Structure 1
Amino acid sequence: MKSLDLEAIQAFVLVAELRSFTRAAEAMDRTQSAISLKLKRLEDRLGKRLIERTPRRVSLSMEGLAFLDAAKDLLSSHERALGAFVAEKRRLIIGISHLVVGSSLPGLLTRLYEHDPSLIIELRVAGSRELLAAFDSGALDAVIVIRTDEHRRHGEVLYRERFGWIAKPDWERKHGAALALATQGEGCSVRASAARALDEAGIAWSEVFIGKGAAVVGAAAAAGLAVALMAYRSAPAGTVDIGPALSLPVLPSAEVALYTTVSDARGRSALKILAAAFKMTQ
């Protein structure tokens, strides 16, 4: 009977989900060469090629696709077995900016659960400034936010978020009317950037819908009510960046950073998984 290296199985699942050896290595706190070696030994052990590697992309072979669900089940069973002897559940309180949490959230939570089924996740979604204030007061273990304070440089930059003028593909601005916008209200850094860009370009605009959260503002765009100021990752299905078609100014991108005070190995391991997943879905 063949025995399999569980760490190699974990490396395979992470590479499969994150589509990157580099991000899988970051999540496991290993070098990329170590991950490659583990996968090579796993493939040799199984006698199957699981990963197709090219300079530009990583994808699963047919054998890899067939093996993925079984690999996830094996890891899940292993975590449950270990969890049988855990006296206390670990609670992790995480804040995520409502500008960057969108349709990818279910996948992010699934990865965290599969990584540590006994981990209790308390998730708070709010504005970056509000979350940072809560983090500074000790109310949150970690936050993933839009970096707007140039003096706050100690966090880990995950990626640069792009923002656009999100609307239905057939949305049209009425002749002579101000550009109808859906925003998250005053205090939103994206709204401030967009307003400044429109004013400098001499484009009249009007705020016709205000909502808290990407899902709410995205719904206004999907309904055809207005042009929503949103991150690309949060844009609902069936919408596009209509900015080029309307000759609107390009919105500046922004760094998304992770700040945390978590120091225990279990908590930091979960945050590594979350960070890698955010990088993958950018």
Structure 2
Amino acid sequence: MKAFIRIAELGSFTRAAEAMQTTQAAISLKLKRLEDRLDSRLIERTPRYVELSARGATFLEHARELLAAHDRALAAFSSSRQRITVGISDHVAGPELPALIARMNAQDPELLVEIRIGSSGDLLQSFDRRELDTVIVRLNVGRSDGELIAEEKLGWFAAPGWQHRADEPLPLATLAEPCGVRALAGSLLDAAQVPWREVFVGGGVAAVAAAVMAGLGVAALAPRMLPFGAIDIGSKLGLPELPRLPVLLHTRSKDGRTHDALAALAAAFRSAVRA
């Protein structure tokens, strides 16, 4: 039942296997057993796509209700409620955050999840001080620990119709220090001998994206962080190419309920970044 729900939610046997910490073959076998038991095909799959069948769409809510009842029954006999504190970099927590939180809740509704948003550097310091159980951050220079979740391409984005005056430095909207993406953007522009100046410093990615769409200037961001309509003007202006930046998971939760919830979160995040 869990395998079926994960396939339906993540749209992928591979992502479902990652979320349940098993193999794709095992996920396929679990689904086949369920379909045999119900004498119905629940998932339509081809080499190009995975989607619910008509019977699968009908059964999905029943499956969720059954698992929720199962979790409530177990919780009634639990002596204490587990808690996990997760820090997520502002450059990582995009518009998919509500759906990612929902994935964790679906994995374990009785797990109390506390999420904090901040810069990668600040969150890693809090993690090292054991103030956070887990952090999901951009690669931090000088550290080689952490589990790679995904690699995400960044671009130089501006509002539609925005024009750069050739005789002026490139106007840049950035996050406040410390911000690894801010430092990377500045160093790449300097190396390419592109004059630039900060015209807006935001306390969060949403503020930077708003400044971009207001026409203040250009920002180095992931495409999913920006409203629809923002355009990548890097090649047009001859700006240096931004690399794919790793997103890493650092955690002390190695097993048990919290680890299972984090595995579901990581799998959902991979799907969001690669979508």
TM-score w.r.t. length of structure 1: 0.90
Q: CA deviation at 1:194?
A: 1.4
Aligned-partner Cα distance in 2 for 1:163–1:143: 21
Q: CA deviation at 1:226?
A: 2.1
Match of 1:173 among 161, 164, 167: 164
Q: CA deviation at 1:109?
A: 0.8
Percent identical pairs in the alignment equals: 50
Aligned to 2:22: 30
Identify the range of structure 1 (15-24 vs 88-97) with the bigger mean alpha-carbon deviation: 15-24
Match of 1:133 among 103, 125, 136: 125
Classify 1:76/1:222 alpha carbon distance in 2 versus 1 (closer, same or farther; 3 Å). farther
Identify unmatched segments of 5+ residues in structure 1. 1-8
Match of 1:158 among 133, 149, 162: 149
Identify unmatched segments of 5+ residues in structure 2. none
Q: Deviations over 1:165-192 (max 9, x none)?
A: 1222322223423222110133322122
What is the CA RMSD across the aligned residues, in angstroms?
1.8
Classify 1:178/1:151 alpha carbon distance in 2 versus 1 (closer, same or farther; 3 Å). closer
Aligned to 1:49: 41
Give secondary structure in 2 for the equivalent of 1:149: coil
Identify the range of structure 1 (211-220 vs 71-80) with the bigger mean alpha-carbon deviation: 71-80
Match of 1:62 among 36, 47, 54: 54
Classify 1:79/1:237 alpha carbon distance in 2 versus 1 (closer, same or farther; 3 Å). farther
Aligned to 1:21: 13
Give secondary structure in 1 for the equivalent of 2:198: strand
Classify 1:71/1:222 alpha carbon distance in 2 versus 1 (closer, same or farther; 3 Å). farther
1:1-282 to structure 2, matched below 5 A, reads 9-153=1-145, 155-282=146-273
CA contact (8 A) 1:90 1:118 kept: yes
CA contact (8 A) 1:18 1:277 kept: yes
2:111 maps to amino acid: L
Aligned residues: 273
1:171 maps to amino acid: W
Identify the range of structure 1 (65-74 vs 91-100) with the bigger mean alpha-carbon deviation: 65-74
1:72 maps to amino acid: R
Identify the range of structure 1 (124-133 vs 230-239) with the bigger mean alpha-carbon deviation: 230-239
Give secondary structure in 2 for the equivalent of 1:245: helix
Aligned-partner Cα distance in 1 for 2:112–2:94: 21
Give secondary structure in 1 for the equivalent of 2:235: coil
Aligned-partner Cα distance in 2 for 1:44–1:167: 53
Runs of 4+ in 1 over 6 A off after TM superposition: none
